[in-house]
Structure 1
């Protein structure tokens, strides 16, 4: 704990790297500091890369990039079918253990009527059971037994990012980059908090635009930066549409 006097207004949600000056310490009061930050006497300095977070009790810490995703119940994740058995599928969810997806863990599934997934298929699912020493169980239904967007994903593009950033993308209200993209384009998104994002748009160019915007906003996901990035990408995208239309007219 540290002394501070005024209301704490740290840049929560900002991506920081070691050496970044994160927060100027007030003169009195209490600031709770967790992992990824150090006190140099006047300010907090980042000691590891990640997103600055603040808990409900005011504790500041840095949520860093994890080499492995650690499953937690109700997490939405993207995974790839790696094995198929009579009662379940094994799903690679970028965790220490593969996820187990029961063949009946789909809305309306029965012994005679159930999805027939293949190795290599991409699945959007929810962690149903998790234990650090056991394979997690995943499902393609929400807690009420509905599909709720979970299931087999076809086409599209998978963007890999940090676990920390993928969690930012599922917050409500939506982060600035998704709000800006939503005002400009039609697209579908399935965000797995295991650092995988599925993107599908009407055209390949639009899909690439969404992926580029998300990538460029990972380092600094502020509203000003997000809107500037999306505006710039949209200009290039619209210019490309006009050029292709002109080319077709001259064919």
Structure 2
């Protein structure tokens, strides 16, 4: 989810339900159909059960179904944390928790040369975004800079820890309207990187804070963000 977007919940849908909304009729040119929906012959239908949501920014609208899934399904535009599993020549094979792997190559990076390249190793964590490719191929993985954490092809620092959360919890952490992390940040300093694929990278100087933050994040499986924020504010 991009900063500045506003998210509106439109109700519960089941597979096969036809999606009807005024914006789907009047603003079709500015509509994007996201995960959990399919468009055929001008009609939009749900392909899985969940909460139908609409995010809007600059008069552009994205409709998608927010549902609980055990396995991550890659979607173009989403940010993920990958694990380096193998090097093949100039390419790296990356596990993003989906049914297949994605690859990156040394040659896509600006000013690439054998002198300035920083090699990635088995088990390294790398943060990036998925981009759509032609011919219905799997999305392409492109590493991104994280200010004060990693730049370009550099992996996430090894002094942090990665843990897994359910996919719907990851979406809550990324949602700009959820201020839970801001509440936690008032009590301790930490760096958190969240991927839509349910992987979270966390760094803090105090290991006690690391454990506390992990526990607070995992509590989103049980409590709503509003309930959890109240509990943290009172503690």
Question: What TM bracket, shorter-length normalisation?
Answer: 0.5 to 0.7
The answer on whether the counterparts of 1:77 and 1:124 sit within 8 Å (CA) in structure 2 is: yes
Cα distance change, pair 205–176 in 1 and its aligned pair in 2 (3 A)? same
Corresponding residue for residue 35 of structure 1: 14
Give the CA RMSD over aligned residues. 3.3
Corresponding residue for residue 54 of structure 2: 55
Cα distance change, pair 220–35 in 1 and its aligned pair in 2 (3 A)? farther
Q: 1:67-124: CA deviations, max 9, x gaps?
A: 2212122211111101102221000000121011112444554343212001111111
Give secondary structure in 2 for the equivalent of 1:206: helix
Corresponding residue for residue 33 of structure 2: none
Cα distance change, pair 229–159 in 1 and its aligned pair in 2 (3 A)? farther
- 1:162 is the counterpart of 2:161: no
The answer on whether the counterparts of 2:109 and 2:152 sit within 8 Å (CA) in structure 1 is: no
Select which of 77, 83, 87 maps to 1:84.
Answer: 87
Select which of 180, 187, 193 maps to 1:177.
Answer: 180
The answer on whether the counterparts of 1:176 and 1:227 sit within 8 Å (CA) in structure 2 is: no
Corresponding residue for residue 218 of structure 1: 221
Gaps of at least 5 residues in structure 2 are: 1-7, 18-47, 57-62
- Report the Cα offset of residue 165 of structure 1: 1.8
- Report the Cα offset of residue 221 of structure 1: 2.9
The answer on whether the counterparts of 2:12 and 2:49 sit within 8 Å (CA) in structure 1 is: no
Matches within 5 A, 1:124-163: 124-129=127-132, 134-141=137-144, 151-153=154-156, 154-163=158-167
Question: Aligned pair count?
Answer: 187
Gaps of at least 5 residues in structure 1 are: 1-11, 14-30, 39-47, 233-251
Corresponding residue for residue 227 of structure 1: 230
Cα distance change, pair 191–162 in 1 and its aligned pair in 2 (3 A)? same
The answer on whether the counterparts of 2:170 and 2:195 sit within 8 Å (CA) in structure 1 is: yes
CA distance in 1, matches of 2:100, 2:161: 24
- Report the Cα offset of residue 152 of structure 1: 0.6
Corresponding residue for residue 124 of structure 2: 121
